[in-house]
Amino acid sequence: MKYFARKCDNCNKGMNEGYCGGDGLSYACSHECLFINGYTQEEFQEDYKFGNIYWTDWGEDLEGHIEDGYYTIDGEFIESEEDINNHYIS
Ligand SMILES: [Zn+2]
């Protein structure tokens, strides 16, 4: 995998699945990256219940998510106008 739709806020790695908080305000690639800065399981349960955070997978449909650019595995944002989805499929 060369293209990543999002970047983890904590470890700054490119990610195609992970936790999405605040409908796009924050991203975390794993449990290790989610429960930081004092964020607790209890808070997570509340946020999850109210739909403020959820686990999602962008890899299934990268086209709509990286049409303006993409992240590398190292979290570097690449602005690109090439048709990334072609590369993704092939
Ligand atoms: Zn992470």
- Spacing, Cα 33 to ligand 1 middle (Å): 5
Distance from residue 29's CA to the centre of ligand 1 (Å): 4
Within a domain: 55? yes
Question: How close is the Cα of 30 to the center of ligand 1, in Å?
Answer: 6
- Provide the number of structural domains found in the chain: 1
Distance from the CA of 78 to the center of ligand 1, in angstroms?
19
* Of 82, 81, 62, nearest in space to 14 by CA: 62
Determine, yes or no, domain membership for 1.
no
pLDDT at 87 over 70: no
| pTM score of the predicted model | 0.80
Residue type, 65: H
Whether 22 maps to a domain, the answer reads yes
Domain that holds residue 68: 6-88
Which of the four pLDDT bands, split at 50, 70 and 90, describes residue 58?
Answer: confident
